[in-house]
């Protein structure tokens, strides 16, 4: 996972052909479960980068990501963007490794 700490980091991630963005809280058990799913996704797709935002430590980055993608903020949340545009997103317990992989196309 690659942490995003600035608006420039967000812009660089969204500049990728495909960006998998994961917003989470280190203080939330639902986020812990979602993080486990994202770690499982990465084990199945070791060459894929998942960009992460800690919504507690980087509030302004989380807000910026919501503004840039037009996806209403939730935590935890995963957004799959292609060409800088959101293509799919899921929140809370809807974040599942297999579904992320399906949406990314077996990245």
Average pLDDT over residues 83-91: 96
Does residue 79 register a pLDDT over 90? yes
Please, are residues 78 and 22 in contact by the beta-carbon 8 Å criterion? Answer: yes
pLDDT at residue 4, rounded to an integer: 97
Banded model confidence at residue 105, pLDDT cuts 50, 70, 90: confident
pLDDT digits (tens, 9 = 90+) for 4-57: 999 999 999 999 999 999 999 999 999 999 999 999 999 999 999 999 999 999
Report H helices in the chain: 7-14, 29-44, 59-69, 97-104
d(CA 63, CA 56): 11
Confidence (pLDDT) at 42: 96
Domain boundaries, the chain: 2-104
Residue 107 has pLDDT above 50, yes or no: no
pLDDT at residue 106, as a whole number: 53
Residue 91 has which token pair? 């929140």
Alpha carbon distance 36, 28 (integer Å): 13
Name the band, by pLDDT with cuts 50, 70 and 90, for residue 69: very high
In CATH terms, 2-104 corresponds, of 3.40.30.10, 2.40.50.140, 1.20.1090.10, 3.20.20.140, to 3.40.30.10
């Amino acid at each position: 996972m690659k942490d995003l700490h600035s608006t420039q980091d967000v812009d660089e991630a969204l500049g990728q052909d495909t960006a998998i963005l994961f917003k989470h809280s280190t203080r939330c058990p639902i986020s812990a479960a979602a993080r486990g799913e994202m770690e499982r996704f990465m084990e199945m797709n070791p060459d894929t980068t998942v960009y992460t935002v800690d919504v507690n430590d980087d509030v302004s980055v989380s807000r910026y990501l919501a503004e840039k993608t037009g996806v209403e903020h939730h935590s935890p949340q995963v957004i799959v963007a292609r060409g800088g545009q959101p293509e799919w997103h899921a929140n809370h317990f809807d974040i599942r490794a297999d579904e992320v992989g399906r949406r990314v196309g077996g990245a």
